[in-house]
Amino acid sequence: MKILLYCKNTQAHQRALEIALEQAKAFNASVDLVSCVSEKDKMPLEVFEKAESKLQEYVDQVFTPASVPCRTKVLVSAFTTGEELVKYAEANKIDTLIMSIQKRSRLGKMFFGSNTQFILLEAPCKVITTT
């Protein structure tokens, strides 16, 4: 079994991390820790390195001590985060995608779009969300 954990730097992400670890232990699964960086970022190399460093920190502090196989990937793309995660899940035959979400009003979703909605509708696998 393969789990994809989308890493964001939010408080809710901590709960997603815990769920991914629980699922990996329960189902003897491997975890892909994925972060997304937009090509539009002004300093992509610095942003990329920071994201990569944070992912490695999760591996060292959470997954390695628990003996859970884990690999990291920073996706750099012009696509939306939702599109990039769905493509990654398809290409890597992911069984479960775990991510934290933000609660927004309907009006907020209309103006800012919703990667979460896209992922929920288009993902080729089970999706677990947490707030």
In whole numbers, what is the pLDDT of the chain averaged over residues? Answer: 87
Average pLDDT estimate for 112-123: 82
Q: Which domain holds residue 31?
A: 2-130
pLDDT at residue 51 tops 60: yes
∠ CA 99-52-55, rounded to 5°: 45
What is the distance of C-alpha 21 from the center of its chain?
13
- How much is the pLDDT for 115? 84
CATH code for the domain in which residue 14 is found = 3.40.50.620
pTM of the predicted protein model: 0.87
Q: List pLDDT tens digits, range 70-81.
A: 999 998 888 888
**CA–CA separation, 93 and 108 (whole Å):** 32
Confidence (pLDDT) at 101: 83
Length of the chain, please? 131
pLDDT, residue 42, reads 63
Is residue 127 predicted with pLDDT exceeding 70? yes
The mean per-residue pLDDT over the stretch 106-127 comes to: 77
pLDDT(107) > 70: no
What is the tally of structural domains in the chain? 1
Q: Measure CA 57 to chain center.
A: 15
